[in-house]
Amino acid sequence: MSGVSPIVPRVRVPLSDLEIQVGIAKVSRYAERESGDTVELTERPAGGVSVVLADGQGHGRPAKTLANLVARKAVGLIAEGARDGATARAVSDFLLAYRHGQVSTELSIISVDLSSGTLVVSRNSHCPVCRSDIRRRMPEHPQTPTPSQMESGDLPM
């Protein structure tokens, strides 16, 4: 993996508002049957889910084999209860020792932990992995807040 240390932002989410949508699409590349990308979805031991995305260096069958190896190792560590940042570092160290530093893999782990109500994004890559698309639903007939609502901050939705 690249020498980028995992970035682990944490976002608290009210569990009553929690909805998890994961979409995975396989898109063919020109002149290649297989890509070097692997996506795995796994359940966390204390509740929640983790999505592991591994992108193997190169293309074709060797890159796919490498990505599968890294993704399986990460999923195994998460299933045993390891934290995401520790998992990313351990997988990076494993690959360095296993292939003697000859290849790299970019790894992204996105986890929703139901016990703490947090969203954790860990990555060993240069590419951003999170896109915010939060929309607040506006009522058809918005109400004008009263002066007391303005002072208290309790604004009508």
Say which CATH superfamily domain 1-13+32-127 falls into. PPM-type phosphatase domain (3.60.40.10)
Give the DSSP letter string of 4-32: PPPP--EEE--GGG-----------BTTB
What pLDDT does 52 receive? 94
Band (pLDDT 50/70/90 cuts) for residue 149 is low
Domain ranges of the chain: 1-13+32-127
3-state helix, strand, coil in the chain (%, to 5): 30, 25, 50
What pLDDT does 86 receive? 92
CB-based burial of residue 111 (10 Å sphere; 0-12 exposed, 13-18 middle, 19+ buried)? Answer: buried
Closest by CA to 54, choosing from 118, 127, 136, 148, is 127
Band (pLDDT 50/70/90 cuts) for residue 54 is very high
Rounded-to-integer distance, Cα 129 and Cα 109, Å: 9
Which amino acid is it at 12? R
pTM exceeds 0.85 = no
What pLDDT does 87 receive? 93
Q: Which residue has the tokens 């009210």?
A: 14
What pLDDT does 6 receive? 47
Say how many residues make up the chain. Answer: 157
Instruction: Please give the share of the chain, as a percent, with pLDDT higher than 90.
Output: 22
Token digits for 82?
Answer: 């390891």
Segment 56-99, tens digit of pLDDT: 888 888 888 899 999 999 999 999 999 998 999 999 899 889 88
What pLDDT does 1 receive? 44
